[in-house]
Amino acid sequence: MSSSVAHIHSETGWDALAGELPLVVRVMSSPATLEEIADEIGEPDLVKVRRRIAKLVREGVIVQRDDRFEAPARIIESVRQEGLLTSFGLHLMPTVTRLANDPGCGIALQLDLDLDEAAQEALCAGWEKELVDELNELSDRPAPSKRPYTLVVFGTSDVPPQAPPSERLIETLKRCARQRSGKDAKRAMLMSYEAHFGHGDEAEALVRKAAAKMEAKGPGSRYTLVYGFCVNDHRRGGGL
Amino acid sequence: MNVFLESFDRLGIVGSRFREETSLQVQAAVLARRGRDAVRISGSTGTGKELIASLVHDVATRELGRSGELVELNCSNLSDTLFESSLFGHKRGAFTGASADQSGLLEQAKGGTLVLDEVQNLSPEAQGRLLRLLGEREYRPVGSTTLKRTDALLVLVSNLDLVKLANEGRFRRDLLDRAPAKIALTPLWQRREDIPELAQSFAREALGDRGWPDVDGITRRGLADIEAALVEAKESSVRRLRELVRDAVFELQGEPPVAIESQAFAGVLRSFYGTGTESRDQWDLQDIEERFDLAVEAQTVARIAELHGLPETTLLKLARVLRELHGSLGTGANAVPSSYRNLMARTSLATKAALWLLSGAKNQSEFRRFFGTNSFEMPPKSVAWQIFHDLFGPSDSSERVN
């Protein structure tokens, strides 16, 4: 891949990316032919698949090399180009509500931390790049079969009071969304990552390690941060 | 309800929520009553009343085996004499200029549907002329001594609240009582999830008219801006949304774009509502405050529905029933009057909701079969229908038991 981060900032680029996330995640996992992509996304009509891919190629979300399609970079960075709640409904809520209602489907680690404002801003600006790099490396590792997983990391300085874990998880997401749409937006952490893994348990261990490292900075009540990780079945596109 | 899908598509009715709400209401107001009761359709300007009148006719034609045509009469600016003669017909010599017998619109609507649009504009005398028609289905052509009968499905359409008008003495209560089947249309801004669907549909139509059929439509950012601006402006009219989208499409300059981006709407939104897209953060914040909990509930319900193989709409309706019961018992801002009768009615509703949930039924037949396969084991059809209607029929807060 030609560079480590591809920037997709146009409205049409965002639409292509948001509308075809499972397809993009598949191509990011490893280069694939038209037929392989069609098989993966369950669309037998190759003309339709070609049309969908053409849109992604046009926007630079994926690139074509000979007869295979691949991601332009290890990471795609994009700026939200739609309503905040719609975006939450698409990228975060399916995972968070799933973890809240069915805790056994993955892990949800909530940390209350003693971070000052500068540390909060640095955390948000860094978007857990180290963890993402480690997960990318694991995702690249060959495996007989792979499954899609989602990692969400979100945090806010508007720390909710103690409550049952599932309720607090949802309340934290709400406060994060609220902060994200106000003047303190740069202190609201919000990150969603998707990849295919052959070794889900190893990926989970990496998430736990990152959370433990963060926790070592010291407990407190100035910031709360959530790491959520689970299998993504891609059956729902989210939305309201 | 699948019986409606064909009609929705044929009539070009767009909007998932609008489709769901109107199918339930038409089911209850027309099909369940076998088209025997006069129907009244109310909704503010641009909410689609004419379209729903056509839907009523279309569904009644297919599901009730009716074969007549759809006939409409706009009641605005009609003198009483002209109204009466247009509707009932007249005999030769009944009035100056009546040189021959003339049948009226009721005759034309035989076996079909007669729609009286803007019925609130009828004078009290003209309203009085409708009493026998709506009550007994009988009428007398002007100048005739003979009563005629009609089997037309009668539909009264109004953009004002007829109940309120009746309370103010501006519409005849007895006429209202003779049109007991109600269909109330929700203003556009209160069904915001339909706004992007409608905007996209209007954009495709306009792009086709402009000779740009390959343009992708409106971007998500553009749709979000339109939705937020219309909600903030409390826009009730679908027609106005169409006008807004068409203006934006026809103001585009140069080569056809990949898609219509948000910038294309900034000027149009300002000219329509006095606000551009600079309020996005505020719109986002308002949206979070108002709909975050609903969005979480929708996601949760989707998950539960998936796990139990139930339709999401069924669970959402049941959740509404239980929330209203909870509201009755509470003291918060959303609490509704909680007299003994009110609470009993709501508790009974909650019991029905629980029973329906337990049955896992998607329709009345499945609900009946839940209790057994022999007729003596099943609840009667009328009971199943009543429970279905109580749970899934339109809620009408003005007619609650208090």
CATH of domain B2-186: 3.40.50.300
- Give how far A210 is from chain B: nearest CA, Å: 27
- Give how far A85 is from chain B: nearest CA, Å: 6
pLDDT of residue B338: 53
**What are the chain B neighbours of A102 within 8 Å (beta carbons)?**
303
d(CA B19, CA B14): 7
Residues B325-338 have pLDDT tens digits of 666 665 555 555 55
Query: Contact, A26 vs A40, CB < 8 A?
Result: yes
Check CB contact under 8 Å for A93 and B295.
yes
> Which residue has better confidence, A175 or B325?
A175
Check CB contact under 8 Å for A84 and B220.
no
Element (DSSP H or E) covering residue B381: helix B381-392
- Give how far B215 is from chain A: nearest CA, Å: 11
Q: Of A81, A102, A174, which has the smallest distance from its Cβ to B221's Cβ?
A: A81
**What are the chain A neighbours of B194 within 8 Å (beta carbons)?**
none
**What are the chain A neighbours of B301 within 8 Å (beta carbons)?**
none
Tell me the fold of A3-77: Arc Repressor Mutant, subunit A (1.10.10)
Check CB contact under 8 Å for B220 and A102.
no
Check CB contact under 8 Å for A82 and B221.
yes
Check CB contact under 8 Å for B295 and A178.
no
- Give how far A218 is from chain B: nearest CA, Å: 31
**C-beta atoms surrounding A195 within 10 Å:** 21
CA distances from B240 to A122, A197, B190, B280 (A): 46, 49, 15, 22
pTM for this model (two decimals): 0.80
pLDDT at B68 over 60: yes
**ipTM exceeds 0.90:** no
Check CB contact under 8 Å for A240 and B222.
no
pLDDT-derived band at B402 (thresholds 50, 70, 90) equals: very low
**What are the chain A neighbours of B230 within 8 Å (beta carbons)?**
none
CA nearest neighbour of B265 among B295, B323, B313, B222: B222
Which span out of A136-140, A230-234, B255-259, B279-283 was modeled with the highest average pLDDT? B255-259
**What are the chain B neighbours of A58 within 8 Å (beta carbons)?**
258
pLDDT of residue A239: 31
pLDDT at B307 over 80: no
pLDDT at A57 over 90: yes
CB pairs under 8 A between A and B: 92
Residues A62-72 have pLDDT tens digits of 999 999 999 99
Query: What are the structural domain ranges in chain A?
Result: 3-77, 82-231
- The two tokens of residue B45 are 């300007």
**What are the chain B neighbours of A180 within 8 Å (beta carbons)?**
284
d(CA A174, CA A193): 19
Name every residue whose Cβ is closer than 8 Å to that of residue B171 and which is 6 or more positions away in sequence: B120, B127, B162, B165
Query: Contact, B216 vs B249, CB < 8 A?
Result: no
Query: Contact, B60 vs B32, CB < 8 A?
Result: no
d(CA B255, CA B257): 6
Tell me the fold of B190-278: Helicase, Ruva Protein; domain 3 (1.10.8)
**Phi and psi, residue B236, nearest 5°:** -100, -15
pLDDT-derived band at B16 (thresholds 50, 70, 90) equals: very high
The percentage of chain A sitting over the pLDDT mark of 90, rounded to a whole number, equals 62
Searching chain A, which residue's CA lies closest to the CA of residue B281? A181
Q: Of A15, A97, A180, which has the smallest distance from its Cβ to B259's Cβ?
A: A15
- Give how far B350 is from chain A: nearest CA, Å: 23
Q: What is the mean pLDDT of residues B243-261?
A: 96
pLDDT of residue A234: 52
Least confident interval from A27-41, A182-196, B316-330, B371-385: B316-330
Query: What are the structural domain ranges in chain B?
Result: 2-186, 190-278, 310-399
Query: Contact, A141 vs A205, CB < 8 A?
Result: no
Pairing mode of beta strands A223-231, A147-156: antiparallel
The percentage of chain B sitting over the pLDDT mark of 90, rounded to a whole number, equals 62
